[in-house]
A and B are shown apart, each in its own frame.
Chain A
Amino acid sequence: MQTKLSRREVLVGGTAAALAAAAPGRVAAQAKELVANTYGGGWEAGHRAGIAQPLEKRLGIKVTLVSMLAAELVARTKAAAGGRPPVDVALVDDGPFLLAIKEDVFHRLPMDRIPNAKRIYAKYRPKEPFGVPIGASQIGIAYNSKTLKTRPASWADLWNPEYKGRIGLSTPASTLGTVTLLSFASLKGGNEGNIEPGFEAVKSLLPSVSSIQAVPANLRTLLERGEIDIAPMWHHDTTIVKMKGTGVEFVLPKEGGIAGLAWLAITKGANTDLAIEYLNQGLDPDSQKLMAGAPSYIGPVIEGVEVAPELRGIVPATPADLERLKTLDWPKINTQRADWIARWNREIKV
């Protein structure tokens, strides 16, 4: 029997493989369908219950939620430029949000058609109307109170010898990692313009670090499994792990936290009318309250949302909570992010 493939077989086989690989993409968009992305896990559950379902019920449309992280979403939207975008409504972090605006893939929003936007906290309001904030996260320290005796009170406490070999970190390839680096930098007077103290701090912490992960969800997995016991983490990820009864607690360091915002934007080529409804629904007080609770624990961006007693201080909701949070100069960060990632690749090894 022949083992060599005939040319015909190669052609047909190759075609089939190529067709299979060219993913089907989105289903045909009808006037009553909307596609939005979420980050999966708690985000997806929260957005489904808080935005997608109320919208479906109110308008009688179909909302499809796909799981995609912000960076990938922006890359795909840029690649689809001119054609149909992968989603109508994009959920993106600060960094990718600004990058996407620069790449011109988002619609300028008609803010007068989004009445709920008036309720947004002044601190969170966008400078240019290319998106609305939908959720706030604060970064802090997640630590396992069952396996670690000392509760960290400040970022500097990470260097405590008790934590040696138990620490997890994230790389600047993720928003979490970028914000972590900047938190370390600010310990020694650094900031978005001077990241050197941040790298020095990470290098000095390295002997105590057990694992570095590029994807924050993996860091959470390791924390759940006890592979690491302490890590800088977003409050909502930490709360998800805490609620599983693992004994993990969230601590807002005394230096204060940094707020990370998630934004909703409308991609060019999308179903604009429905997309605007999605954004408006997302900013509705009931929706925001829903998303601030289980299982998403996302901090509300509008005024007047009350959070369950056991979550107060952890989920940033009140003006006092916001007082303790810093927002970052993301345009400045974006210009240097590639360098920070490259530098981290070279210099930081566990």
Chain B
Amino acid sequence: MPATLFLLVYFAVPLGMLFFWSVRARGVPGLTLINFRTLLSDPFFLQTLWLSVRLSLEVTVITLVLGFPLAYLYTRLGAGWRLTILFVTLLPLLTSAVVRSFAWIVILGKQGLVNTVLMGSGLLEAPAKLLFTVDGVRVALAQVQLPFMLLPLINALEQLDPSLEQAAVSLGASQARAFFKVTVPLSTPGVVAGAILSFALTISAFITPAMVGGGSFIVMPTLIYQSAIVTLDWSTAATTALILLVVALAVVWGGMMLARRFRYGVEHA
């Protein structure tokens, strides 16, 4: 009972306050939907919303593509390798988002690691613009979110009985077929968990897009920051946040529906 009460206070009340702020506007008495109308009819707002969703989906796919083999390796290798994989992937989590983003500036900058190597080996004449691009942000975000994809995947794959895959092989399937037809579908719960985490964290990421993308790279959290903190227009901020929340939930729900088609009827692995 106390737990429910706390949840009520710390989740429901702030959400309620967000809602309260979003239905009120300066100079308009009573409740109004004008904030929603203003934002949803603004092409720039919709563009930014689309950019946020698209970027987050792309990053989620990248972390999945990178994370799945890594998680699979984890379950098949010995203790020493497991520790190394965990250490290398989780280490960045110990630092703040600012430090990690700064590291990416060092890697992607004109004087940075990538450019120095490419120019030093003669592959490039002049430094390539890697920083302050969408691609740079995508890569940086993928690295930041990788641990959150990796851990649920490892958890799901660990619970799989390895003999299931071996059984498939002994029944005549190739190793690859066994992997794709047995292991992957059975790991769907892990994929879903990792994808939800990765997507939710990416769509609300503020610091990495700001530092690695530069000041003209605007995503939804940037808009929320501008109206909540700089101009103190809390109605717009609340409305933006609510729209983001609804859209993110919709994408997650859509993803979960999609995942249903991939997994076999068995609930537990």
Contact = CB atoms under 8 A, between A and B. Distances in A.
B195 interface: no
B25 interface: no
Contact of B232 (A1, A11, A74, A211): A74
A346 B45 CA distance: 9
Interface string B219-259: 00011001111111100000000000000000000000000
Nearest to A214: B215
Nearest to A218: B211
Interface string A71-83: 1101100100000
Interface in B188-235: 189, 210-211, 214-216, 218, 222-223, 226-233
B102 interface: yes
Interface in A264-308: none
B137 interface: no
Given A75-B229, A214-B210, A341-B230, A15 B105 contact: no
A204 interface: no
Given A11-B3, A171-B215, A173-B230, A18 B132 contact: no
Nearest to A349: B216
B6 A19 contact: yes
Given A11-B4, A15-B3, A218-B211, A211 B228 contact: no
B111 A225 contact: yes
Interface in A1-34: 1-4, 8, 11-12, 14-15, 18-19, 21-22
B216 A72 contact: no
Interface string B140-182: 0000000000000000100100000000000000000000000
B215 A170 contact: yes
Nearest to A102: B232
A211 B131 contact: yes
A99 interface: yes
Contacts of A186: none
A213 interface: yes
Interface in B1-49: 2-4, 6-7, 9-11, 44
B82 interface: no
Contacts of A349: 216
A212 B214 contact: yes
A181 to B, nearest CB: 13
B214 A350 contact: yes
B109 interface: yes
Given A225-B105, A338-B231, A345 B218 contact: yes
A170 B201 CA distance: 27
Nearest to B109: A227
Contacts of B105: 221-222, 225, 227
Contact of B11 (A18, A75, A173): A18
A11 B7 contact: yes
Centre residue among A15, A19, A99 by max chain B CB count within 10 A: A15
Interface in A211-260: 211-215, 218, 221-222, 225-227
Contact of A18 (B7, B159, B211, B268): B7
Contacts of A173: 215, 226, 230
Contacts of B223: 345
A125 interface: no
Contact of A78 (B189, B211, B230, B232): B232
Contacts of A311: none
A17 to B, nearest CB: 9
Contacts of B269: 3
B106 interface: yes
B226 A346 contact: no
Given A337-B231, A346-B44, A15 B214 contact: no
A347 to B, nearest CB: 10
B192 to A, nearest CB: 10
B152 to A, nearest CB: 10
B267 interface: yes
A14 B233 CA distance: 30
B232 A75 contact: yes
A210 B216 CA distance: 11
A153 interface: no
Nearest to B43: A346
Interface in A158-200: 169-171, 173
A161 to B, nearest CB: 17
Contact of B216 (A8, A218, A342, A348): A348
A144 B181 CA distance: 60
A169 B214 CA distance: 10
A268 B48 CA distance: 37
Residue among B159, B215, B229 with most chain A CB within 10 A: B215
Given A170-B215, A211-B131, A214-B210, A337 B230 contact: yes
Contact of B226 (A210, A211, A341): A341
A103 interface: yes
B159 A1 contact: yes
A32 B230 CA distance: 32
Contacts of A99: 232
Given A218-B211, A345-B218, 4 more contacts: A3-B268, A3-B269, A15-B7, A227-B105
7 A-B pairs closest in CB distance: A18-B10, A212-B215, A11-B3, A338-B231, A15-B6, A214-B215, A75-B229
16 contacts: A3-B268, A4-B267, A8-B3, A11-B3, A14-B7, A15-B6, A18-B11, A71-B230, A74-B232, A75-B228, A99-B232, A103-B232, A173-B226, A173-B230, A211-B132, A227-B110
